[in-house]
Structure 1
Amino acid sequence: MRCAPQFLSILLAVGASTCLTSPARAQGGPSTTRSREHATVKDHVRRGQRARAAGQWTEAHAAYKAAFDAADPESTTERDRAEIAGELGLCELALGKYRDAAEHLAWSLEQREALPAALQKRFEEGQRKATPHVAKLRVSVDPPDAEVFVDGKAVGRIARVYTLFVEPGLHMVRARAPGGEDAFQSVRAVAKAEHELSLHVSRAPVSSAEEGAPLSPNETPRPLRAPAAAQARPASPWASWPGTARIGGIAVTTATAAAGSVFLLRAHVVHGDLRERDVTLRAQGWTSHTCREASAPASCAGIRDQVNERDLFATLGKVSLATSAVFGVATAASFFTEVAFFGGTPRATGVRLVPVTTNERAGVLLEGAW
């Protein structure tokens, strides 16, 4: 019986030590994870510094990009993030990626108070070198929760005023908000210039107070009524003809261009046969007046048929290419004149074709629901 108190005291001591050590381990988990992430960011930065010192800008860019993506407010300081963004921008400047360089250097210099004077000077010098190659867009959006896209690519953050850098050329800026129609605006960006854009996304009409009021327990829910404007305006049978006409125009343009190429190729082949035949006949003593004489050989009829065939295919090829050019220009012009002829912004439903051109590529952005 005298051993029972000692055994009980041993059990209490073991339980107390377990309770004390378990919370300590639980509290040490997140801090250990943060320190590991911070060490990873530092490893990327050290790798970027070694590559930059060796003049290996591609490797340095990859390392600083990995550090920039891994850095977050919980594991790094504001100075760390600003310095990483600035070094990433300098690597992009050395690689000729001027738009990305201007964007990351501008982001870094927004936290210039956290940077030493020497780093501020380096990043400002890099920003001055990148700016002449890009254009700056200041886009104001209403409402502020609208999502902004540039050439179909989301900007990735929400703000009322955006400061964006783009390559010189034609760009399409779009704003989208829940429950509203998209707002579009195209801009021809000029290097070293700053462009002001304003996009307003119109909200969908809200239901009346009566329709939005809560129902009583015994009241039967009523179906929502469509807006008065939608009820009063019936759907027009011509509402979808621009898109259909454009599809037809693209089809005709493609078909006539292909046919014209085939016709001209055939005319070229026949012309080559005639030249070879001419060389052979001249070697046999023929002249350019042989087939014009009264006693012309019978083979002259075949030569005339080949000449007529060549001229026919050449004419058909030229007419087909001219037709293709006309339909192509008319179809392309319809994209730029839709707003002028039909008013407002492009329709929010259906399929939209938006022309997009940059200094590197040109094409058509197809979007919508189908």
Structure 2
Amino acid sequence: MTLLRSALSGICLLGVLGSGIGLARAAPAQQGPRATESAAAMKARQKARIAFGARKWTEAEASFEAVLAAPDAAGMTAVQRAEVLGYLGLCELEQGKHREAAEHLGQSLEQDAALSRALLDRFTRAFNRAIEHVGRIYVAASPPDAEILLDGEPVGTGATVHELFVAPGTYTLRARLSGHGEGSQRVEVDAGKTVSAALQLVRAADAPARTPAPGARKSEPVKPQAPGPVASWLGPARVAGIGLTTATASLGALFMVRASASNGDLKERNSKLDALGFTPWACREPSPPSACNELAVLRRERDQFAALGTAMVVASGVVGAMTVASFFTDFSFLQSEPTGARVAFSPAATPGQIGLVAHGVW
């Protein structure tokens, strides 16, 4: 009995010591401002997810926005930020805030590598639903570090191309930069549509202003020089090059598809001749079967369409390469402003089509 009591006492003592060691080891993890901030951020995200699960869209939206505005928001991982932006967009979409939803879902999808496949598919579907109700504007300015304003409200600076989501309507875009004249353009955007705008700023006159003598008549303000002859034809030539490249590539593809179809017909006719017992040399005999004439016509059509398709594709490649090269060529020796940094390509997707949009000033 005494031995049993001693054993139990030893076990209890070991349990107390183990608990003490566990507490001693766990205690430091609770200390420090970084651990406290991380716990607060985790709690805020959990609160937002609970409100989202309960379909309390207004509360969830406010909670997700609070997570993004928190002092330690910069410490979020790419996965956490992409998820918060995506869920915020879903909350806004449920409330009919299509412009805000498209903006936040688009920012989330920019970090698609950080999202799981399920969330990527969910956010993509929601983004496509949102942009059916809003318009999208791609605006580029030259120089690219100019500040862009939409109806007088700053929307960003320092980017080659700005992507803006707006409600359907008419808007005024302006670009301004110190030492340059202001550029502006008015655009009309429909729901589900994408428009592009290019704003070019002209550098102000470099001549220093002189103080006029007393009583002297004020001189007229110096007007900026008009662009040179090269700048006047270079833009239309590039537009024509893009259109010609697209047209020739499309025609070439159609011709090659037609040639492939003719080749299929040839194989089918040859198979029928083989089934009837004709040898491959039957069409070379003095009295060939009537089907040989049809085969000869099909061969000529196939060869003609194949040659035309190949020529069109090669031509589109040459014209396209020359057009792209012109965007990155410095024409300053022809009194034209270099354009290497004034063009960019951005993906554009609508419920009915997907492709690339070229933005720039030329």
Relative to the length of structure 1, the TM-score reads 0.47
Structure 1 or 2, whichever has the larger Rg, is: 1
